[in-house]
Structures are given as structure tokens and as C-alpha cells.
Amino acid sequence: MNTSNDFPKDFFVLIEGDEFREGRISVNKLHDQYMAEIDIVQKDTRKIWRHVKSIYSCVTERDALQDASYLLGKYLRGESI
């Protein structure tokens, strides 16, 4: 049974112009803080194609997701993270 507090929570982001891969942000809870893993995965198998970054010590689940989304966008634009 899934509840809103079940972790990890995976969020998928379409990558424009790439029909084989998508971005995945996995948010997890560690004690009283949150962390997120940012990956590029294959659409069909969800196998990790490239690990982008992990972020830790986020105060809320929303903060972890927002920070990870920002970093994924920078990565996809070719900016340094």
C-alpha cells in the first residue's frame, strides 16, 4: 500500500529531442532530512545511463525536488553543476 510518505519517490522529466532517455529525480527521506538523486535513465528499462548528482540535507521534500530539478535543467543545458 502506497501512502504519501512512502519513499523513495521517483519523478520523471522528458528530455526534448531524446526519444530513448529521460531524467529521473529520486527523492528519499533520511531521518529528519531529505535527499535527491539525479539520473538520466533509459525510457524502456529505466536503467541508469548517467548519474548526474546527489544532493543531501534538504529541509523538506519539496526543497529536494526543486533543487534537483534546477540542477537537472543546468545539466541538460550543458552548464556546470
Q: Does the structure show a pLDDT above 80 at 5?
A: no
Structural domain boundaries in the chain: 9-76
Q: Does the structure show a pLDDT above 80 at 46?
A: yes
Q: Does the structure show a pLDDT above 80 at 4?
A: no
pLDDT at 81: 85
**pTM greater than 0.95 (yes/no):** no
CA distances from 71 to 9, 17, 29, 32, 41 (A): 17, 19, 19, 23, 16
Q: Does the structure show a pLDDT above 50 at 27?
A: yes
